[in-house]
Amino acid sequence: RKEVEQDPGPFNVPEGATVAFNCTYSNSASQSFFWYRQDCRKEPKLLMSVYSSGNEDGRFTAQLNRASQYISLLIRDSKLSDSATYLCVVTSNTGNQFYFGTGTSLTVIP
Amino acid sequence: DTEVTQTPKHLVMGMTNKKSLKCEQHMGHRAMYWYKQKAKKPPELMFVYSYEKLSINESVPSRFSPECPNSSLLNLHLHALQPEDSALYLCASSQDPPGARGEQFFGPGTRLTVL
């Protein structure tokens, strides 16, 4: 079983739409959780860390549900510039290994 | 300085060549990573260095040889590669251990083509 499962999409949404991505993980003792964004032919860049209390940064909201072992990312009022691949990342129980989901491709259409 | 640098940006090599990829960070991170990424796939872990010692080798073929000369530098020596090794090679660093809120910082990658 994979450490992290993520729907690869693609998600094609109109500008202004709200879109949500989910990711499940297998190790209940995982320590840390992140969403990264990767543009075509670029390196992954941290979008948000994900905390049990949930966190919000502008149009982006991340949630962690430890009981059900999933994390989510909500993007409100989608912009064309949000088009990218979104990777969920979960660390091991010791925290020193990072496990990547397959990535979810988002295209925001004018 | 929250930057990880990698050189070269692009590399084309033949199957008999020997080349090296270089990575540098000055964030005081003591964990450094090499990943391989193929198109439309997530990064795939190759090696982890912790305090300049190799801590994880994900069964990578010996034609890839990592080296960590000091806490800021990470090299990947390449020899007798195959065309299927063509990919984007990403270096990353993090605190060690990353802790509850530690994340990885990635370099821009080296795009490798093996002819």
A91 and chain B: CB distance < 8 Å anywhere?
Answer: yes
From B14's Cα to the closest Cα of chain A, the distance in A is: 23
CA–CA gap between residue B59 and residue B68 (Å, rounded): 18
CB atoms within 10 A of CB B19: 17
Taking the CA of residue B51 and the nearest CA in chain A, the distance in Å comes to 12
Residue of chain B nearest A52, judged by CA positions? B100
Prior bond to B8 cis, omega within 30?
yes
Do residue B43 and residue A102 have CB atoms under 8 angstroms apart?
Answer: no
Whether A70 and chain B come into contact, CB under 8 Å, resolves to no
- Confidence band of A92 (pLDDT split at 50, 70, 90): confident
Residue A9 pLDDT: 86
Whole-number CA gyration radius for chain B: 13
Question: Quick check: B90 and B109 in contact, CB under 8 A?
Answer: yes
Smallest Cβ distance to A49: which of B43, B103, B107? Answer: B103
**pLDDT given at position B115:** 94
Residue bearing the bigger pLDDT, B54 or B98: B54
Nearest CA in chain A to B38: A41
Per-residue confidence band for A93, with pLDDT thresholds at 50, 70 and 90 = confident
What are the structure tokens assigned to A41, written together?
């032919």
Using CB atoms, pick whichever of B42, B100, B111 lies closest to residue A102.
B42
- Would the pLDDT of B10 be above 70? yes
The model's pLDDT over B13-33, given as tens digits with 9 standing for 90+, comes to 999 999 999 999 999 999 999
**Can you tell me the mean pLDDT for A82-93?**
93
Per-residue burial over B44-55, b = 16 or more CB atoms within 10 Å of its CB, e = otherwise:
ebbbbbbeeeee
Q: Answer yes or no: is pLDDT of A78 > 70.
A: yes
Max CA distance (Å), chain A? 44
Cβ-defined contact of B98 to A91 (cutoff 8 Å): yes
Ranking A71-85, B12-26, B50-64, B97-111 by mean pLDDT, the lowest is B97-111
Label residue A12 by pLDDT band (50, 70, 90). very high
Chain B contact for A46, CB < 8 A? yes
Q: What is the CA radius of gyration of chain A?
A: 13
Contact A98, A89 (CB under 8 A): yes
Looking at every residue in chain B, the average pLDDT score rounds to: 92
pLDDT category of residue A95 using cuts at 50, 70 and 90: confident
Q: Give A75's strand partners.
A: A19, A60
The rounded distance, in Å, linking the Cα atoms of B93 and A60 is 25
pLDDT at B81 over 90: yes
* B29 contact partners, CB below 8 Å, separation of at least 6: B71, B93, B94, B95, B96, B105
* Cis peptide upstream of residue B97 (ω within 30 degrees of 0): yes
CB atoms within 10 A of CB B15: 13
Contact status of B90 with chain A (Cβ, < 8 Å): yes
Question: A2 falls in which pLDDT band (50, 70, 90)?
Answer: confident
Distance (Å, whole) CA A16 – CA A80: 9
**Percent of chain A surpassing pLDDT 70:** 100
